[in-house]
Chain A
Amino acid sequence: MKVAVLSGKGGTGKTLVSVNLASVAKESLYIDCDVEEPNGHLFFKPKNYASESIAVKIPISDEKLCSGCRKCVEFCKFNALAFIINKLIVFENVCHSCGGCILLCPEHAFREKDKPIGQVQYGVSENVTVMTGVLNPGELSGVPIIKKLLQDIVNGPELIMIDCPPGSACIVMESIKDADYCILVAEPTLFGVHNLNLVYELVKLFKKPHGVILNKCVEGENPAEKFCIEKDIKVIGQIPFDSALGTLNSNAQISVRENKKYHDLFSSILQVVTQEGSHETVTNP
């Protein structure tokens, strides 16, 4: 079962939830899709480390073949091409590697070159296989890295935890596309509700079964919980605002491996996730 963990903004506890759920399972695969700032590996400190470079295709125009018809310039919806003083300029950082210009060129003036944009790292931490996507600083989109991370996991272990990037943009859509269940992590504030609503709208659009984990819970009213009741979203777990958990986490320790209370808490959450995710119908349409 593939379980994606999302939140509308950073710092709500996606990595806390994904790392601990992956660790509490008998055997699992943890995939860090937060390629702009992957941090799951800081907790797992994976061994048997290996890595693979990821590249995208960038068009190069042959000046001698280019007739200056500008069909490619007009076609490019990303405006990655300009034709200045009889010469085509390709803006590599704007190009989305769609290949349209190459297909369209009547003179076949384009060829492609590989442009490295990051890497995928592999390792093992006890019962967890760890995969980490890393996007090089300054690159426009981590989507090709996420595609690579998620394409080879057909024969993975029973539980696959996908730690998503924050927000609800393309890169998150790519991360949850094949997920069987989505966990939305929410903070107990009005701001938290706004961010929760962003990812809630997204998983509804993708018709994914989903549930909410309320993180940093304190005594008193929880606007995020109220939102879940109003929208009839299942709350699958509550994590207290606890200094012991905060200390473990800020020391890059995995709570379920250090603390029985949190081992039990995440075990029970995983049980709910497993039940919810194995339903064939959409539980929260």
Chain B
Amino acid sequence: MKVAIPVDDKSMSTSVSQSFGRTPYYLIYDTDSKESVFLDNSAIASQGGAGIKAAQTIVDSNINAIITPQCGENAAEVLKTANIKLYKTINFSVQDNICALNDGKLPVLEDIHPGFHGHGGN
């Protein structure tokens, strides 16, 4: 299974980003091979609809699940249509969240927010 986590930096010591749609990078972790790669998020500079564009990139990268602190409704619609699972982060540590996923202890993300649409957030 390939999992994507929004992260602040391209290193394994980086922390989880607050935003799904406007995160600078995604950490793509393969639970079978235990390998990690980083993916640039081209949606970060979007005027609007960043969540939709970011979710499209995730779908096109054949990701099976997302681990994120939060997710807007438009991005969630794209992800759910593509049958991508949404998990909620337990803290800002990438390692902790991957361990929790491997142990089956990550909660499912249920509180989808209505989106910030140019009005800040975080």
Which residues does B use to contact A, with CB under 8 Å? 43, 46-50, 52-53, 55-56, 59, 74, 77-78, 81-82, 117
- Complex CA gap A87/B43 in Å reads 21
Chain B residues positioned under 8 Å from A82 (CB to CB): 52-53, 55-56, 59, 78
A79 in contact with B49 (CB, 8 Å):
yes
Those of A69-108 within 8 Å (CB) of chain B = 73, 76-85, 87, 89, 91, 94
- Complex interface bits, A50-84 against B, C-beta within 8 A gives 1, otherwise 0: 00000000000000000000000100111111111
Residue on B nearest A138 in the bound complex, by CB: B114
Residue on A nearest B83 in the bound complex, by CB: A85
Task: Evaluate whether A85 and B50 lie within 8 angstroms (CB atoms) in the complex, with A73-B56, A94-B74 already known.
Answer: no
The total of interchain contacts (Cβ-Cβ below 8 angstroms) comes to 43
Contact of A84 among B46, B47, B78, B117 (CB under 8 A): B78
Chain B residues positioned under 8 Å from A87 (CB to CB): 81
Chain A residues positioned under 8 Å from B56 (CB to CB): 73, 82-84
B81 in contact with A79 (CB, 8 Å):
no
A79 in contact with B78 (CB, 8 Å):
no
Please give the distance in Å from B85's CB to the nearest CB on chain A: 15
Chain B residues positioned under 8 Å from A78 (CB to CB): 47-49
- Complex CA gap A140/B118 in Å reads 11
B81 in contact with A91 (CB, 8 Å):
no
> Interface size for chain A: under 10, 10 to 19, 20 to 34, or 35 or more residues?
10 to 19
Task: Evaluate whether A91 and B82 lie within 8 angstroms (CB atoms) in the complex, with A79-B43, A82-B55, A83-B56 already known.
Answer: no
Those of A95-152 within 8 Å (CB) of chain B = 140
Please give the distance in Å from B99's CB to the nearest CB on chain A: 30
A85 in contact with B82 (CB, 8 Å):
yes
- Complex CA gap A81/B55 in Å reads 11
- Complex CA gap A81/B117 in Å reads 16
Chain B residues positioned under 8 Å from A80 (CB to CB): 49, 52
Contact of A91 among B46, B47, B49, B50 (CB under 8 A): B49
A85 in contact with B81 (CB, 8 Å):
yes
Task: Evaluate whether A77 and B47 lie within 8 angstroms (CB atoms) in the complex, with A82-B55, A85-B82, A91-B52 already known.
Answer: yes
Residue on B nearest A77 in the bound complex, by CB: B47
Most chain B CB within 10 A, of A73, A77, A82, A94, is at A82
- Complex CA gap A84/B81 in Å reads 7
Chain A residues positioned under 8 Å from B47 (CB to CB): 77-78
Residue on A nearest B55 in the bound complex, by CB: A82
